[in-house]
Structures are given as C-alpha cells and as structure tokens.
Structure 1
Amino acid sequence: MTTPLKDQIVLITGSSRGLGLAIARAFHAEGAKVILNYLQPSSEKAASSAASELSAIAIRADITDLTVVQSLFTQAEQHYGQPISIVVNNALSPFTFNGEARPKLEDITWDAFDAQFKGAVQGALNTTKAALPGFEKLGYGRIINIGSNLVQNPVVPYQDYTTAKGALLAFTRTCAAELGPKGVTVNMVSGGLLSVTDASRGTPEEVFEMVRGVTPLRRVTTPEEMAGAVLFFASPWGRAVTGQNVCVDGGLVMS
C-alpha cells in the first residue's frame, strides 16, 4: 500500500478514551477518516464528544460478536463510501494493573482467562474476518494489534492478561503469513505500563517510580508515544513490514 494515511478509513476498537483515543487522534492529525468504537453505554458521551472533536463516527459494538462487528463494517463503509482499510485492535476486557491486587495462580479461575481471550483474541479474529471483504476490494489492508511487553518480560505475572496477549501475538504472526499474498500486513505494537489510562489508574505511584528507574529513557511511556508506532505500521513507510512486534516502552524490553 502506497496510499497516504489521509486517504484511509481507520477503525480503532475501544477508542472512546485512553490509548484508543490517543491512536484515533494521531490518525486524525494525519487526515485519516476515523471510526471510534465503544461498548459500554457509560462510554457513549465520551465517544460522542471524541467523534465531534475528530469529525469521526462513533459506533457502539461488542467486538466479541461477529454479526455485530460485520454490521459495524457495513455502517462504516456506507458512511464513508469506501471500505475500512486499517484496523487497530485495541479494545481491552476490563482489567486493572495492580500487582498487589491481582489474583494469584492458586486462586485465579478460567473465567478470568476466558474474559481476556474473548477481548483480545476473539475480538481480533472477528474484526479481521469482517475486514477481509473490504481489503479484497481495495487490494490491500493493514491490521495493527495492541499487545504488551509483559509477554517478553512478565515482571508482574498477570496470568490472564499476559497469556491472552501472548496468544494475540501468535495470531498476529499466523495472520501475517496467511494474508501477506493478499497485500495485507499484520503487526503488533506492545506497550509497557502507560501513563495514564483507565487500566493503569489503579497502579501505585511507587510502581511508576520503579519503572522510570529501570527504563533506559527514565520515563513512563505515554499513549501518544505508542500511537506513533501504530501510525508507522499503518503508513506507506511500513508496507514491507509484517508479522512483527515492536515494544514501545522506553527500551525496557530490547529484542
């Protein structure tokens, strides 16, 4: 794909706030047309406000329901007059990064794993399947999945969350292998602890201080900095890159 970002239609799941909204703003700044997605009725006001700010459309949809996701893609194509060409799988099942409060291995249940797998893997599977007809019309497509550096460096063993993100990395690479001949790239951007999102709001300040102290850049990564890496994979500059995972965490994880 050599088409500039300003001519692209972008879906960002889970984008009424936090990292998803930062990614949406980054695409808007490059002239792309944005679809915001949210799930909870309590997010409707924030999503509507963000849509007004970004001249975007906001669509409520449960990404774990394939029929609902397919409807979202149809609505978006009807609104903009062309298919979605870039998908950013950012939506996260409810989760709080607080190591002291996390369920330990002896107590955690499969239900916790199931919830994270549905949000991360089933959601990405559904948006990928729904995107394929549009990608085939266009002759290209971009999928960027949001991962976590905890897969490479599980300093806090969030069993359910990290396992789901590890599975999403495997899904990223298998999709890249299968969809490459169709002109579709599939990559992952993995963040560390971000300052500040709803998920990290419950993280004690001493943890932020610890992360700053051991990170080469001596600061905690922001959602806006992660958004820059997403834009690279989505842009013409990333057209020959697929099946890759880049950690945006100030150098905490190096590979």
Structure 2
Amino acid sequence: MNLQEKVVLVTGASRGIGAAIAKKFAAEGAFVIINYLKNKTLADLVVKEIEANGGQAAAIQADVQVEEQVANMITQIGDSFGTIDVVINNALSHYTFNPKTRKTAWNISWEDYNSQWEGNVHGAYNVCRAVMPYMKEQTHGRIINIVTNLMELPVIPYHDYTTSKMALLGFTRNLAKELGVFGITVNAIAPGLTYPTDSSSETQESVRESIIHMTPMGRLAKPEDIAGSALFLASDLAAFITGQCIYVDGGLVMR
C-alpha cells in the first residue's frame, strides 16, 4: 500500500474503529500516533500490541475539541517527525446506539445537537486546521473523516449524531475542493452499524438482526472493515480520489 514510514495520526484510537485503523496502518509500515482523550491504559495497550507485531506507534493525549490541545499535539508530532502524512478523524462525542434510550424529535434539545457538533465537527475542524500547514508545505497529504451510513438510511433516527455527521461530510467536501491544488485529498468513510464497539454495545440483538437481514452481505460491519477502507484511501491507489464518501456497510446503502 506504499505507507512505509508515513506518519499517521488517528484520533480516538484507544479502542474500537480507531484502534483497528491504527493497527492496520502500523502493519503496513506507517508510524502511527494513537490519540486518546482519557484512557491512557487502553492507548498504551494499542501501542504495545503494535510494537509486539513489529510496528511503530506512540500515544498522545489531547481533547480534539480544544484548539490549544490539538495545536500542542500537532506541534509535538511535527517536531518529532517533521511531517504529518495522513490524518484519520475518528474521535467523536460519546454516543450509544440504543433505540430505547435515544431522544425523539420532540424531546431532543439543541444542547444535544451541540454536543455532537463539538465532538464530530469541531474536533475534526481543529485537527484539519492544525495539520494543513504541514500538508500544504509538502504538497501532499491525506485526510479521512469518519461519518455514518445513517446519513443516507436513518434506519433509526439518531437525530443529533446523524446531523453532525452530515455536517462533517459537508466539511469534507469543501476541504477537498480547496486543498486539491496542494496535492491533499480529503475523503469520508461511512460505516454501517459496527460491532463490537462501545457505541454499539447497547444495540439490541433484535435491531442487529434486522440490519443484518437487510444487508446484502448478511452481517454487520467489523472495525477491521473500516480500517481496510481507510488504508485504501490513504494509499497511492487512491491518489486521484477526493471529496468522496465510501459506504462500508455490506451494501445496505447503495449510491
């Protein structure tokens, strides 16, 4: 995949999809930065697993919603490596995909929307703003934002989460339009319900089975499925792909 010695930042990478992405990139020879919010123990475990398999990684704590913390993280990476080649914006505000506890359109608050906006959009904005100078100077870079297939098929209307992810897709496409001239591609990955992850742990079995029944490939997404698509978009194989959204959900959404 031509990722040998590339410097890759994965936000929210101490577990779930982020950890799977980090491990996949490290296996391809990239040096991976494991960004985490709180759980240093889990982040260090990801680093140790990568190193045990012959890869290279380091963990850095930063709240992507806080501009100063992101700036310090990117400066630290830049000072250590002189470059940042790939960014995967995977961090999000905490969310639980539980149909029984979700807020309906008539009782959800604007604060709920803002909470998801801060984690999903503002966080990606802070990271992208901080890495753009490096990528522009080297006239090369890959930015990948994790969204959701619920944008196209809201099987269950998680209003705040899905709305913020749709905004992130809009942000993705605007960046792609403006940064292409600098050799920077910006794309999105839209996973289906991914299991197992912390967010999907409370999704009832009946709901999971219903989604599986509707999915042409007959199963839910796994974190490794999302990691494979991120690897492709970061590689030279996807050098002329930008502004796109790849749905990784076994064919549930077809566009």
TM over 0.5: yes
Which ranges in structure 1 are unaligned for 5 or more consecutive residues? none
Aligned counterparts of 1:78 and 1:6: Cα–Cα separation in 2 = 20
**Distance apart, 1:51 and its partner CA:** 1.5
Tell me which residue corresponds to 2:109. 109
For 1:25-40, list aligned pairs within 5 A: 25-40=23-38
Aligned counterparts of 2:224 and 2:45: Cα–Cα separation in 1 = 19
Tell me which residue corresponds to 1:67. 68
Measured against aligned partners, the alpha-carbon deviations of 1:159-194 in whole angstroms (never above 9, x if no partner) come to 000000000010000000010111100000000101
Aligned counterparts of 1:50 and 1:217: Cα–Cα separation in 2 = 30
Tell me which residue corresponds to 1:50. 46
Aligned counterparts of 2:2 and 2:196: Cα–Cα separation in 1 = 30
Which one is further off, 48-57 or 25-34? 48-57
**Distance apart, 1:129 and its partner CA:** 0.6
Which one is further off, 142-151 or 203-212? 203-212
Aligned counterparts of 1:245 and 1:114: Cα–Cα separation in 2 = 24
Aligned counterparts of 1:58 and 1:35: Cα–Cα separation in 2 = 6
Tell me which residue corresponds to 1:14. 12
**Secondary structure in structure 2 of the residue aligned to 1:36:** strand
Aligned counterparts of 1:25 and 1:68: Cα–Cα separation in 2 = 24
**Distance apart, 1:74 and its partner CA:** 1.2
Aligned counterparts of 1:69 and 1:21: Cα–Cα separation in 2 = 19
Aligned counterparts of 2:94 and 2:175: Cα–Cα separation in 1 = 25
Could you tell me which amino acid in structure 1 is paired with residue 67 of structure 2? L
**Distance apart, 1:150 and its partner CA:** 0.3
Aligned counterparts of 1:133 and 1:165: Cα–Cα separation in 2 = 25
Aligned counterparts of 2:45 and 2:223: Cα–Cα separation in 1 = 19
TM-score after normalising by structure 2: 0.96
Count of residues in correspondence between the two structures: 250
Aligned counterparts of 2:67 and 2:182: Cα–Cα separation in 1 = 22
Aligned counterparts of 2:115 and 2:22: Cα–Cα separation in 1 = 25
Of all paired residues, the percent bearing the same amino acid is 46
Which one is further off, 52-61 or 180-189? 52-61
Tell me which residue corresponds to 1:151. 151
Tell me how large the CA RMSD over aligned residues is: 1.0
